[in-house]
Amino acid sequence: MSQIQSISVVIPAKNEADNIQPLVSEIFLYLSEAYDFEIIYVDDGSTDDTAHKVMQLVNEFPNKIRLLQHKKSVGQSTAIYSGVANAKGGVIITLDADGQNNPKDIPKLLKRAASFKHGSDYCITGFRKARKDTAWKRLQSRVANNVRAALLKDDTPDTGCGLKVFPRATFLKLPYFDHMHRYLPALIKRLGGSIEVVEVSHRDRQHGVSKYGMWGRLFAGLIDMLGVMWLQRRTKIPHIQEPKIDGQ
C-alpha cells in the first residue's frame, strides 16, 4: 500500500457563492487531521460573489486555499484542467461546487487510491446509487450511462459523479477536449490504468441552480463518445523491456 503524500482538491465553480463556505468547512473536517492538502477553486467566469467568497477564505487560510479565475466561462472540463495543471499535490480530488457531493466520502476514495503503487495510473470514481434528483433527471442519467458503458466499456456506472480521485501525472497524460471530465475513466483505462468504483452519498442542492440543460448535454455527449471511441481504437500500449548488459 502506498502513502499518499500530498493532495489537491480541485473544485470548478460558476455562480456558487452561497455554497463556498459550507463545502470548505466540510472538506477541512474530513481531511485536516489525516492529509497534507490544498483546495483550489477555479472560478469559471462567475457573475456573482463566488470569487469574493473564495478570497475571504484564501485570506483566512493562505496556505490551504487558492483561487484561479477564468475571465470568461469556458466550461467545467477546462476549469478542471486549469486546476490540475496548477496543482501542487500528486493526487487530485475533484468534486462539484454545488455541495451535492459529500466530502465525508473522500476518505473512502483515498483509502482505495492508497492501495496502488506510486506511479500507477488509476481513477477512483464515485457512484451515486441513491441520487437526490428528479425522476426525469435520473432517467436521463440512467439512459446516458447505459449507452456510454456499452460503447466505451469504461467500468463506470456513474461517470457524471464529480467526486473522483486520480494521480495528477495520470491526468496530464490525457488528451484535452471540452467535456473530457465526463470520460476520465474511459480515457484512463485507455492508458492501461485501473478503474475502481466506490458508492457515495448524494445530497440535495441547497443554493443556486443547475448549470446544465438536457438537450445540449445530450448532443455534445454523442459527439464526444464518438471521439473517445476513435481514441480507444487507435491506442497501442507497448510493453517495454530493457536487456541487461553482460556482466552487470
* Range 165-192 burial, b when 16+ CB lie within 10 A, else e: bbbbebbeebeeeebbbbbbbbbbbbee
Q: What residues does 9 pair with on adjacent strands?
A: 39, 93
> Is 186:228 a contact under the CB 8 Å cutoff?
yes
Q: Which of 101, 75, 46 is nearest to 220 (CA)?
A: 75
C-alpha cell at 11: 473544485
Q: Tell the residue number behind the cell numbers 445540449, with chain if given.
A: 216
State residue 21's pLDDT score. 97
How do the pLDDT tens digits run along the chain, 248 residues long?
466 879 999 999 999 999 999 999 999 999 988 899 999 999 999 999 999 999 999 999 999 999 999 999 999 999 999 999 999 999 999 999 999 999 999 999 999 999 999 999 999 999 987 666 566 666 666 666 666 666 677 777 777 899 999 999 999 999 998 888 989 999 999 999 999 999 999 887 766 566 555 444 555 577 777 777 777 777 767 767 777 777 66
State residue 228's pLDDT score. 74
Pairing mode, if any, of strands 164-167 and 91-94? antiparallel
Domains and CATH numbers, the chain: 7-233 (3.90.550.10)
Q: Which of 238, 216, 208, 180 is nearest to 13 (CA)?
A: 208
CA–CA separation, 56 vs 52, rounded Å?
Answer: 6
> Is 106:29 a contact under the CB 8 Å cutoff?
no
State the pTM of this model: 0.82
Pairing mode, if any, of strands 194-200 and 65-70? unpaired
State residue 1's pLDDT score. 47
State residue 215's pLDDT score. 47
DSSP strands (E only) in 45-145: 65-70, 91-94, 122-128
State residue 219's pLDDT score. 53
State residue 203's pLDDT score. 81
